[in-house]
Amino acid sequence: MNDQMGDPVVPNRLVQTLLLSSVLLLGLGGICQTKTQAESPNSDCNLHPSATFTAHGHSVLSSPTFIATDNSSPSLTRRVYVDGRVTALAFSPDGGTIAVGGDSLAILLLDAATGRTIRSIPFFSDDELALLDASPVTGERVVRDVAYSPDAKVLAVGHSTGLVKLFDTHSGQLKSSLDDVRRERADGQPLHDYLRLPLAHEDVSRVAFSRDGVWIATCGQTIDYRRDRVRRLGAGPTAGLLKLWRADSGKLQRDLDGEHNQQVMDVAFSPGDQYLASVGNWRNAREAGSGVKLWNLQNLQVASKLVPPESQQQGATPLCMGLSADATKIALGSFVQTRRTGESRGWIQIFDIDSGTVQTNWLVDRPVRSVAFTADNKSVAALSGKCECRLWNPATGQTQAVLQSVGNPADTSWTAFALSPKDDVIVIGGRNSQPRNFLYWWKLNRG
């Protein structure tokens, strides 16, 4: 697809920061308990808008509708509603459990087959909450990302407060917190009490385990990113938009800030740990650019860069990526704004990792908030609209299926999804102003 964009303009840092905030804060978080409703695969609600469901007398998300373009027949198999909003979802490696994080004080582990709550894990200690409540830091407290270790025994949780915690998934006990201890004040005076918390970043964007379980990669803002916050807290500068940690000890192994010194929006390890991939912008004396950097895990040096051709760069801000299971391709999702109309759109580019070239690319109606390959590499899924998830053929860019929810209030949006690593199941969640929000389970039935 070669839509003409017309006079694109590169967003400045403020716009990028606001976009990051909107992308990461629009979530579905806050969860205390779940209730489920199993759906018949042949129910009319799989094909048409139907009755609006209620919780505590409030209307919530309407039933989705599906448009299949490749003879597939997606079916809504389950609805689970949760209290509050959800901002992060992840399947365990065996596909048996789903971790759900949001704006509540707990992380939920759900049975992927039934949607029932297996465990509720408190995120903050009482002392941490007291420090946060007494700090001058404002803003929502939400989970940014959740990630399972390869053996599913540990769950890493990254939070907007800058905390990254590792929990035992069996007991729910805290194993360790990732702590960059280099915070200091130039005048030698004591830090604000808030900064005595074990902070990995000022704000966390993503967390990821290596496939051998040895490393954890995190990305996010530095402690001194917000200037007003520096003045209020008295915090000196720390490096660290992209960091690598030991998973067993939680110790910082390497700060990769020097090569990624503008923004890092997403990070992931390749399936065979051949490399660490990071998405963002960079600028130094030699070059300025944006795209994907591939890091050699042996020497932690940049092995290569995946940069879109100039015709596909202007006005585009990379936000997210998805890696194919065979480690040969990366799907890059971006935000695009045009100067002529001020319109915000999305761009998906499929890179061949060996050649470093874009094989296919296509524009979508909205900024791409998250993107992922299905387990069989036959589809790329992305959230790119208020209440829409699309699947495309990564080789051609042709739409395979569209999952939509229609007839929703204006404040409703889908903001998180997870793909099962074992079968064609997608779980999507959204947000609205009501006290409860749905998670939807779909079976793609692609045959």
Looking only at the bridges linking them, the beta strands covering 106-111 and 97-102 are: antiparallel
Residue with the bigger pLDDT between 155 and 13: it is 155
Distance CA 235, CA 97 (A): 39
- The token pair at 190 is 């004591």
CA distance 235 to 409: 42
Type of residue at 135: S
* Listed residue (248, 300, 259) closest to 281, CA to CA: 259
Q: 385 CB contacts (<8 Å, ≥6 apart)?
A: 364, 365, 366, 414
DSSP string, 248-314: TT--EEEE-GGG--SEEEEEEE-TTSSEEEEEEEEE-SS-EEEEEEEEETTTTEEEEEE---GGGTT
Torsion of CA 156, 158, 159, 163, to 10 degrees: 80
CA distance 210 to 173: 22
**425, two tokens:** 């199941």
Task: Give ∠ CA 168-416-274 in degrees, rounded to 5.
Answer: 65
Residue with the bigger pLDDT between 259 and 388: it is 388
Which band of pLDDT confidence, cut at 50, 70 and 90, is reported for residue 317? confident
Tell me which of 194-198, 259-263, 291-295, 423-427 is least confident.
259-263
pLDDT value, residue 23:
37
Of 350, 324, 354, nearest to 421 by C-alpha is 324
- The pLDDT assigned to 82 comes to 82
Please tell me which residue, 262 or 60, carries the higher pLDDT value: 262
Provide the pLDDT for residue 362.
92
Average pLDDT over residues 285-289: 75
pLDDT higher than 50, residue 7: no
pTM assigned to the model:
0.82
Domains, in order of start, for the chain: 13-443 (2.130.10.10)
- Give the pLDDT score at 31: 35
- Please report which confidence band the pLDDT of residue 193 belongs to, taking 50, 70 and 90 as the band edges: confident
Contact 231, 249 (CB under 8 A): no
pLDDT of amino acid 93: 96
Rounded to whole angstroms, how far apart are CA atoms 272 and 347? Answer: 27
Contact in structure between 391 and 60 (CB atoms under 8 Å): no
Q: Give 365-391 pLDDT, tens digit per residue.
A: 888 889 999 999 999 999 876 778 899
- The reported pLDDT for the residue numbered 22 is 41
In this predicted structure, the answer to whether residue 42 has a pLDDT above a threshold of 70 is: no
User: Who's near 328: CB < 8 A, 6+ residues apart?
Assistant: 352, 353, 354
Q: Tell me: the pLDDT tens digits for 324-356?
A: 999 999 999 998 877 677 778 889 999 999 999
Pairwise pLDDT comparison (10 vs 223), residue with the higher score: 223
Per DSSP, helices labelled H in 144-299 are 227-233
CA distance 80 to 426: 13
**32: its two tokens:** 């205390």
User: 63 CB contacts (<8 Å, ≥6 apart)?
Assistant: 45, 48, 49, 50, 51, 52, 53, 76, 405
Average pLDDT over residues 39-47: 30
3-class DSSP state of 156: strand
More confident residue, 104 or 173: 173
pLDDT tens-digit readout, 210-231: 999 999 999 988 765 444 454 5
Average pLDDT of the residues in 92-118: 94
- For the stretch 384-436, pLDDT in tens is 767 788 999 999 999 988 887 766 666 777 889 999 998 789 999 877 766 66
Percentage of residues in the chain having pLDDT higher than 90: 43
**Is 445 a residue whose pLDDT tops 60?**
yes
In the prediction, which pLDDT does 139 show? 80
Query: What CA–CA distance (Å, rounded) separates 438 from 61?
Result: 7
Instruction: Give the amino acid at 329.
Output: K
Residue 307: pLDDT over 60: yes
